[in-house]
C-alpha cells in the first residue's frame, strides 16, 4: 500500500469514529450475518456485531458441534448451524460474511466467500502462507468484493488521534517502534477427555502447532505489524527473528516466546516481543521519534516528549560564573540516563468504545454504502504477508525478504 | 495444503465424538485463584491431574474476565459503561447476553419493589463507596441523585433489544448481581467439561457447589459468626446449588461510632440499618446474589413473604440487630443455627 492510500484510510477512519458520523446515520437497516468459525474470537466479534441495531446472526458454519450451543447462547435464539461452510455460502438470505475460522483455513474460506460476492469481515491474520495472502487479494479484487480485515486497533479513537499527532510531527520523525504482547499463560484451551488420537487437541489448540498456527508473531504480532505499517506508511521489506520453547514443554511446535525485527525503508524498524510467562508489559506499542514517544495500548495512548535539545539563551546571570568560577568535580550524572518516570499526556479516555465494536460498526456502514472500507484487503495483506514470512523466519533465524504485493 | 488440513480436522471430529471416556483414577483437588471483579475468585476442582485441570480453570477465569469486561461499571470500555453513557440520550442496542442480564436484574427489581435495584450507581458514588472513600453526603447531594435512582427509570425493549433511561444521570451498578452471573457462567463451563465436583467462589460472597467432594455429602460452607464471635453460627453442605451472602464486615465506614454499610436501600437513599448478615441458597447464583440484597434491605418478615411468593425453593438465614446483639431468623434453612451466639428473632421483631 502506498502513502496516499494510507492517508485516505486515516481520514476515513476519523470520520467513521466521530459521533457526528453516527448522529447523521440513516434509519436502521437490517444486516443478516453468516459466520464461518464460531470459536472464541468468532463469538466475540459476533457479540460486538449484535451491539448494532439491525444486525442479526442468521447462520454459523463450524466443524466443532459444541459451538452450536455456545453460539445460540450468545445470540439468544436458534441459529442455523452447519458443518460445511459451502452450505452457508449457498444461502440466499445473507448480507455479509464474518470469517473467524482457524488461520490455516482463512484462504480457503475467504477466497470462496469472495467468489460468492458477499461483503466479508475477515479476521486477522488474513492469510497463513505467503502465497495465500496474494491469492486472497486477487480473489477479493477480481470479484470486487467488499472486504474488511479484523485489525480493530486502528479504528480505536486513541489510535486515530495518535496517528494524527504522529503525522503532524508531534514526536518528530518516527523511526523505531517497540511492540510487546506479553502474557502469563500457556495459551492452551481445554480439550475433551476422549481424544486418543490427539485430533481434538489439534483442532482446539491449533494455535500451538506449526502446521496450523502462525505462532505468536502472527496470532498476536499481526496487530502491531498493522499499526507499524500504518504509522510508517509501508510494508516492511524483511524480517529477522528467533523463537524457542522455554516454559511450556507440552508437545507444542510453535514457540512460547518470540522476538522479531521488521525492517522498513530508511532504516526504520519494528521490534516485536512476545513471551508467555510474564505479563508485566502486557500489550503495548511504543513509537519513538527524535522529539517524543507515544505508548499505545488496548485502552488508551500516552504521549511523552524528549527534553529540548536546543540550548537556552545565555542569561545575564552567567556573569556569576565568570566572577566566581565553578567547582570542579565528577562530570557524570545519572539523571540524563534514567528512564523517564513522570506523567505523560494521556489521550483517548473520553467517549471510550471497544475497538472491535468501532470496527464492526464501520464495516456495517461500509456495507450500507456510507463510506469505503478502511482496513481493506491491502491493509490485510501488509500485516499478513509480513507475519507469514516472519513465522518461518523465527524458525530459520535467518533474514527473510518480505514480498511486495503483485498488482495486475 | 489448506484443504487437506481442514478436511483432516473434519474427519478427526467424526471419529472423536463417540462419547466421553470414564476415568478410573482417583481425582485430586486442585485450587486455582484469579483476581477479578474487585475480589478474588477461587476454583476448587477435582480432576485426574493438573494438566487436565488447569486449562479448565483458565477457561473459567477467562469467562469471568470476559463477563467483567462486559458488565463492569469500573471499566470505561465495558458494554455496561457504554449503556450508562448513551442510554439517556437514545435507546442503546445491546447483545442478547447483556440484555438478558438486565432483564433478570429488572425482574428482581420489580418483584422486590426496588429493594434490589441496579440503578444505585449514583447513590454509591455520593456515599463514597464507588472509590472506597466512604462519606456522608449532604441532603443537597441526595436530592440531586434522587431523580436518577430507581429501576423504573430503566426501559427495556425485548423486541429491539434496546435499553433506554427515562432520566438523565442513571447509572447501572452490577455490584449486587454481577458476581452471581459470572459464577453461573463458570458453572456452565464446568458442566461442559463434565466436571463431577468443584466449588467456584467469587470472593466467598457468592459461590456454587458442583457435585460433592469424593465421599462427602456436599461442599461444607460455614456461615460466620458476627463481630468478635469466631465460631460459625451455622454450617451447610451444598450440592449442585449456590449460596450468596451479604454483610457489612468489609465494606463500610464509621462516623461518630455509627457504622454505615455499603448496601443501600434504594428507596430511602441511605445505607441499610439493622441487618448484619444474610445468606441465601438457590440453584441459580445470579438469583442468590440478587436476592441477598433483597433480604438485606427488607425486614425478615418482608423477606419471608417475598421468598414464599417469588423464590419458594430458596433457603435463607438472616442475622438482624447489631454485632453486639445479633438475632437470627430463617426461611427453610435446614441446618442448625447456633442459638447461643445468635438467638432467634422474636416474631415481634420480624
Contact list in B for residue A352 (CB cut-off 8 A) is 76-77, 81
Least confident piece of the model among A255-259, A331-335, B152-156? A331-335
Torsion angles phi and psi, residue B141, rounded to 5: -65, -40
Containing structural domain, residue A395: 155-310+340-352+387-401
CA distance B56 to chain A (A): 6
Among A243-257, B120-134, B221-235, top mean pLDDT goes to A243-257
One domain, residues A348 and A366: no
User: Looking only at Cα atoms, what is the longest distance across chain A?
Assistant: 91
Contact list in A for residue B66 (CB cut-off 8 A) is 44
In a domain, A192, yes or no: yes
One domain, residues A283 and A392: yes
Q: What is the pLDDT of residues A308-338, one digit of tens each?
A: 644 444 445 555 666 666 667 666 667 667 8
Question: CB-based contact (8 Å) between A112 and chain B?
Answer: no
ipTM metric? 0.77
One domain, residues A88 and A211: no
One domain, residues B315 and B265: yes
From the CB of residue B137, how many other CB atoms can be counted at a distance below 10 Å? 17
Residue the block writes with cell 570542579? A328
CA distance B231 to chain A (A): 39
CA distance A288 to chain B (A): 27
CA distance linking residue B298 with residue B278, whole number of Å: 11
Q: Is a pLDDT exceeding 60 seen at residue B11? A: no
Q: Which candidate in B3, B4, B6 is best for mutational testing of the A interface (most A CBs within 10 A)? A: B6
Q: Is a pLDDT exceeding 50 seen at residue A19? A: no
One domain, residues A298 and A359: no
Least confident piece of the model among A60-64, A180-184, A242-246, B13-17? B13-17
Q: How many domains does chain A have?
A: 2
Q: What is the pLDDT of residues B331-346, one digit of tens each?
A: 999 999 999 989 998 6
In a domain, B200, yes or no: no
End position of a domain, from candidates B141, B172, B203 = B172
With CB atoms and an 8 Å threshold, state whether B5 touches A195. no
One domain, residues A12 and A114: yes
In a domain, B6, yes or no: no
The beta-carbon neighbor of A104 closest among B2, B23, B54 is B2
Beta strands in chain B, from DSSP E residues, in sequence order: 28-36, 39-47, 92-93, 154-157, 162-165, 198-202, 206-210, 219-223, 234-238, 241-247, 252-255, 258-261, 264-265, 270-271, 275-282, 315-321, 326-331
Residue A160's H or E segment, with its range, is helix A157-167
Q: What is the CATH number of the domain that holds A208?
A: 3.30.360.10
In a domain, B92, yes or no: yes
CA distance B76 to chain A (A): 6
Q: How confident is the model at residue B348 (pLDDT cuts 50, 70, 90)?
A: low
Question: CB-based contact (8 Å) between A193 and chain B?
Answer: yes
Contact list in A for residue B35 (CB cut-off 8 A) is none
The beta-carbon neighbor of A76 closest among B12, B16, B100 is B100
Q: Which candidate in A194, A248, A297 is best for mutational testing of the B interface (most B CBs within 10 A)? A: A194
One domain, residues B151 and B220: no
Q: Which residue of A has its CA nearest to B1?
A: A104
CA distance B242 to chain A (A): 21
End position of a domain, from candidates B124, B153, B172 = B172
Q: What is the pLDDT of residues A77-90, one digit of tens each?
A: 999 999 999 999 99
One domain, residues B242 and B136: no
Average pLDDT over residues A71-80: 94
Q: How many domains does chain B have?
A: 2
Q: How confident is the model at residue B125 (pLDDT cuts 50, 70, 90)?
A: confident
One domain, residues B228 and B297: yes
Question: CB-based contact (8 Å) between A342 and chain B?
Answer: no
The beta-carbon neighbor of B55 closest among A52, A107, A188 is A188
Residue the block writes with cell 459444541? A66
In a domain, A334, yes or no: no
Q: Which candidate in B17, B73, B96 is best for mutational testing of the A interface (most A CBs within 10 A)? A: B96
Q: How confident is the model at residue B66 (pLDDT cuts 50, 70, 90)?
A: very high
A400-407 long-range contacts (CB < 8 A, ≥24 apart) are A400/A238, A400/A239, A400/A240, A401/A237, A401/A238, A402/A235, A402/A236, A402/A237, A402/A238, A402/A239, A402/A262, A403/A130, A403/A134, A404/A235, A405/A1, A405/A134, A405/A137, A405/A235, A405/A378, A405/A381, A406/A134
Question: CB-based contact (8 Å) between A336 and chain B?
Answer: no
> Is the preceding omega at residue A125 within 30 degrees of 0, hence cis?
yes
- Output the pLDDT for position A339: 82
In a domain, B75, yes or no: no
Q: Is a pLDDT exceeding 80 seen at residue A350? A: no
With CB atoms and an 8 Å threshold, state whether B54 touches A128. no
Residues in chain A: 408
Least confident piece of the model among B14-18, B86-90, B277-281, B299-303? B14-18
One domain, residues A9 and A42: yes
In a domain, B178, yes or no: no
One domain, residues A371 and A264: no
- Output the pLDDT for position A193: 79
CA distance B177 to chain A (A): 19
With CB atoms and an 8 Å threshold, state whether A188 touches B194. no
- Output the pLDDT for position B336: 94
The beta-carbon neighbor of B94 closest among A51, A132, A188 is A51
- Output the pLDDT for position B320: 93
Q: How confident is the model at residue B259 (pLDDT cuts 50, 70, 90)?
A: confident
One domain, residues A391 and A369: no
Q: How confident is the model at residue B249 (pLDDT cuts 50, 70, 90)?
A: confident
- Output the pLDDT for position B347: 58
Q: Which residue of B has its CA nearest to A84?
A: B10
The beta-carbon neighbor of A185 closest among B58, B161, B194 is B58
Q: Is a pLDDT exceeding 50 seen at residue B19? A: no
Torsion angles phi and psi, residue A306, rounded to 5: -70, 155
Transcribe B264-292 into DSSP letters.
EETTTTEE--SEEEEEEEES-HHHHHHHH
Interface of B with A (CB under 8 A): 1-3, 5-6, 9-10, 12-13, 15-21, 23, 51-52, 54-56, 58-59, 66, 76-77, 79, 81-82, 85, 93-97, 99-100, 160-162, 192-194
Q: Is a pLDDT exceeding 50 seen at residue B20? A: no
Q: Is a pLDDT exceeding 80 seen at residue A162? A: yes
Question: CB-based contact (8 Å) between A211 and chain B?
Answer: yes
In a domain, B96, yes or no: yes
Question: CB-based contact (8 Å) between A353 and chain B?
Answer: yes
CA distance linking residue A382 with residue A1, whole number of Å: 7
In a domain, A324, yes or no: no
Torsion angles phi and psi, residue A311, rounded to 5: -75, 140
**Cα-based angle A40, A44, A50 (whole degrees, multiple of 5):** 140
Contact list in B for residue A105 (CB cut-off 8 A) is 2, 5-6
Q: How confident is the model at residue B248 (pLDDT cuts 50, 70, 90)?
A: confident
Residue the block writes with cell 476519523? A14
Contact status, residue B326 vs residue B319, Cβ threshold 8 Å: yes
Average pLDDT over residues A216-236: 98
Checking DSSP bridges between strand B162-165 and strand B154-157, what pairing results, if any?
A: antiparallel
Q: What is the CATH number of the domain that holds B150?
A: 1.10.3980.10
One domain, residues B233 and B131: no
One domain, residues B237 and B114: no
Least confident piece of the model among A29-33, A36-40, A64-68, A350-354? A350-354
One domain, residues A234 and A305: yes
Question: CB-based contact (8 Å) between A397 and chain B?
Answer: no
Average pLDDT over residues B104-119: 95
Q: What is the tally of helices (H) and strands (E) in chain A?
A: 14, 15
With CB atoms and an 8 Å threshold, state whether A105 touches B6. yes
Average pLDDT, chain A: 89
One domain, residues A99 and A172: no
Q: Which residue of A has its CA nearest to B100?
A: A76
With CB atoms and an 8 Å threshold, state whether A190 touches B193. yes
- Output the pLDDT for position B29: 96
Average pLDDT, chain B: 88
Contact status, residue A380 vs residue A218, Cβ threshold 8 Å: no
One domain, residues B216 and B344: yes
Contact status, residue B204 vs residue B243, Cβ threshold 8 Å: no
| Chains A & B: contacts with CB separation below 8 Å | 113
Q: What is the pLDDT of residues A277-303, one digit of tens each?
A: 999 999 999 999 999 999 999 989 999
One domain, residues B101 and B226: no
In a domain, B41, yes or no: no
Torsion angles phi and psi, residue A245, rounded to 5: -110, 110
- Output the pLDDT for position A3: 38
Q: What is the CATH number of the domain that holds B342?
A: 3.10.520.10
Average pLDDT over residues A114-121: 97
Residues 274-303 of chain A with CB under 8 A from chain B are 299
Least confident piece of the model among A18-22, A140-144, B253-257, B343-347? A18-22
- Output the pLDDT for position B25: 67
Q: Is a pLDDT exceeding 90 seen at residue A257? A: yes
- Output the pLDDT for position A332: 67
- Output the pLDDT for position B264: 86
CA distance linking residue A264 with residue A181, whole number of Å: 21
One domain, residues A295 and A371: no
Contact list in B for residue A353 (CB cut-off 8 A) is 77, 82
In a domain, B222, yes or no: yes
- Output the pLDDT for position A1: 40
Q: Is a pLDDT exceeding 70 seen at residue B18? A: no
- Output the pLDDT for position B3: 45
- pTM assigned to the model: 0.83
Containing structural domain, residue B164: 84-172
One domain, residues A204 and A255: yes
End position of a domain, from candidates B148, B172, B196 = B172
Contacts of A362 (CB under 8 A, 6+ apart): A13, A16, A17, A148, A155, A371, A373, A374
Q: What is the pLDDT of residues A365-395, one digit of tens each?
A: 999 999 999 999 999 999 999 999 999 999 9
CA distance A195 to chain B (A): 6
Residues 53-72 of chain A with CB under 8 A from chain B are 53, 63-66
Q: Which residue of B has its CA nearest to A41?
A: B66
Q: What is the CATH number of the domain that holds A128?
A: 3.40.50.720
Contact list in A for residue B99 (CB cut-off 8 A) is 76
Q: Is a pLDDT exceeding 90 seen at residue B254? A: no
With CB atoms and an 8 Å threshold, state whether B13 touches A199. yes
Q: How confident is the model at residue A6 (pLDDT cuts 50, 70, 90)?
A: very low
Amino acid at each position: 500500500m502506498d502513502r496516499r492510500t494510507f492517508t485516505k484510510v486515516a481520514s476515513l477512519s476519523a470520520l467513521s469514529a466521530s459521533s457526528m458520523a453516527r448522529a447523521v446515520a440513516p434509519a436502521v437497516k437490517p444486516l443478516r450475518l453468516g459466520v464461518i468459525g464460531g470459536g472464541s474470537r468468532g463469538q466475540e466479534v459476533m457479540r460486538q456485531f449484535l451491539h448494532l441495531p439491525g444486525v442479526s446472526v442468521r447462520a454459523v458454519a463450524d466443524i466443532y458441534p459444541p459451538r452450536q450451543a455456545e453460539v445460540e447462547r450468545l445470540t439468544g435464539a436458534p441459529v442455523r448451524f452447519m458443518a460445511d461452510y459451502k452450505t452457508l455460502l449457498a444461502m440466499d438470505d445473507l448480507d455479509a460474511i464474518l470469517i473467524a475460522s482457524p488461520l490455516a483455513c482463512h484462504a480457503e474460506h475467504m477466497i470462496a466467500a469472495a467468489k460468492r460476492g458477499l461483503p466479508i469481515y475477515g479476521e486477522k491474520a488474513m492469510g497463513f502462507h505467503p502465497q495465500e495472502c496474494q491469492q486472497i487479494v486477487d480473489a477479493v479484487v477480481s470479484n470486487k468484493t467488499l472486504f474488511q480485515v479484523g485489525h480493530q486497533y486502528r479504528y480505536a479513537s486513541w489510535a486515530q488521534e495518535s496517528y494524527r499527532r504522529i503525522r503532524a510531527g508531534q514526536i518528530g520523525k518516527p523511526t523505531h517502534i517497540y511492540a510487546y504482547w506479553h502474557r502469563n499463560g500457556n495459551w492452551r484451551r481445554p480439550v475433551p477427555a476422549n481424544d486418543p488420537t490427539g485430533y481434538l487437541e489439534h483442532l482446539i489448540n491449533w494455535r500451538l502447532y506449526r502446521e496450523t498456527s502462525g505462532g505468536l508473531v502472527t496470532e498476536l504480532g499481526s496487530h502491531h505489524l498493522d499499526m507499524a505499517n500504518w504509522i510508517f506508511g509501508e510494508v516492511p521489506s524483511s524480517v529477522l527473528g528467533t523463537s524457542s520453547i522455554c516454559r511450556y514443554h507440552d508437545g507444542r511446535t510453535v514457540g512460547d516466546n518470540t522476538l522479531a525485527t521488521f525492517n522498513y525503508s530508511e532504516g526504520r524498524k519494528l521490534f516485536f516481543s512476545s513471551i508467555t510467562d510474564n505479563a508485566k508489559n502486557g500489550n503495548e506499542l511504543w513509537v519513538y521519534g527524535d522529539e517524543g514517544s507515544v505508548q499505545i495500548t488496548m485502552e488508551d495512548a500516552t504521549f511523552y516528549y524528549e527534553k529540548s535539545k536546543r540550548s537556552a539563551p545565555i542569561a545575564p546571570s552567567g556573569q556569576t560564573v565568570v566572577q566566581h568560577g565553578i567547582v570542579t568535580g565528577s562530570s557524570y550524572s545519572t539523571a540524563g540516563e534514567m528512564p523517564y518516570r513522570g506523567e505523560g499526556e494521556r489521550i483517548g479516555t473520553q467517549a471510550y468504545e471497544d475497538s472491535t465494536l468501532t470496527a464492526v460498526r464501520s464495516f456495517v456502514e461500509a456495507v450500507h454504502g456510507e463510506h469505503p472500507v478502511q482496513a481493506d484487503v491491502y491493509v490485510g495483506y501488509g500485516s499478513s504477508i509480513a507475519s507469514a514470512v516472519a513465522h518461518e523466519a523465527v524458525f530459520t533465524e535467518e533474514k527473510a525478504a518480505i514480498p511486495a504485493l503483485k498488482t495486475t | 495444503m489448506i484443504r487437506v488440513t481442514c478436511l483432516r480436522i473434519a474427519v478427526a471430529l467424526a471419529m472423536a465424538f463417540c462419547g466421553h471416556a470414564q476415568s478410573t483414577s482417583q481425582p485430586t483437588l486442585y485450587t486455582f485463584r484469579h483476581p477479578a471483579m474487585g475480589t478474588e475468585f477461587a476454583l476448587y476442582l477435582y480432576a485426574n491431574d493438573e494438566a487436565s485441570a488447569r486449562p479448565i480453570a483458565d477457561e473459567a477465569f477467562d469467562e469471568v474476565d470476559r463477563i467483567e469486561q462486559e458488565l463492569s461499571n469500573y471499566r470505561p470500555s465495558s458494554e455496561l459503561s457504554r449503556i450508562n453513557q448513551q442510554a439517556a440520550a437514545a435507546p442503546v442496542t445491546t447483545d442478547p447476553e447483556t440484555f438478558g442480564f438486565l432483564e433478570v436484574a429488572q425482574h428482581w427489581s420489580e418483584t422486590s419493589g426496588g429493594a434490589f435495584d441496579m440503578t444505585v450507581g449514583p447513590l454509591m458514588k455520593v456515599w463514597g463507596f464507588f472509590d472506597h472513600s466512604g462519606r456522608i453526603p449532604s441532603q443537597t447531594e441526595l436530592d440531586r441523585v434522587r431523580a436518577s435512582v430507581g429501576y423504573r427509570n430503566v426501559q427495556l425493549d425485548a423486541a429491539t433489544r434496546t435499553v433506554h433511561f427515562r432520566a438523565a444521570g442513571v447509572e447501572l451498578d452490577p455490584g449486587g448481581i454481577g458476581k452471581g452471573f459470572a459464577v453461573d457462567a463458570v458453572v456452565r463451563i464446568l458442566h461442559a467439561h463434565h466436571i463431577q465436583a468443584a466449588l467456584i467462589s467469587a470472593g466467598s460472597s457468592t459461590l456454587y457447589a458442583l457435585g460433592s467432594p469424593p465421599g462427602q455429602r456436599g461442599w461444607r460452607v460455614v456461615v460466620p459468626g458476627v463481630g468478635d464471635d469466631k465460631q460459625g453460627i451455622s454450617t451447610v453442605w451444598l450440592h449442585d446449588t449456590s449460596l450468596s451472602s451479604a454483610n457489612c464486615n468489609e465494606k463500610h465506614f464509621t462516623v461518630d461510632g455509627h457504622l454505615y454499610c455499603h448496601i443501600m436501600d434504594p428507596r430511602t437513599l441511605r445505607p441499610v440499618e439493622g441487618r448484619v448478615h444474610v445468606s441465601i441458597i438457590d440453584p441459580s447464583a445470579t438469583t442468590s446474589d440478587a436476592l441477598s440484597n433483597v433480604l438485606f434491605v427488607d425486614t425478615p418478615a418482608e423477606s419471608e413473604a417475598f421468598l414464599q411468593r417469588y423464590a419458594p425453593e430458596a433457603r435463607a438465614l438472616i442475622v438482624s440487630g447489631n454485632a453486639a446483639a445479633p438475632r437470627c431468623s430463617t426461611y427453610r434453612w435446614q441446618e442448625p443455627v447456633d442459638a447461643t451466639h445468635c438467638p432467634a428473632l422474636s416474631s415481634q421483631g420480624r
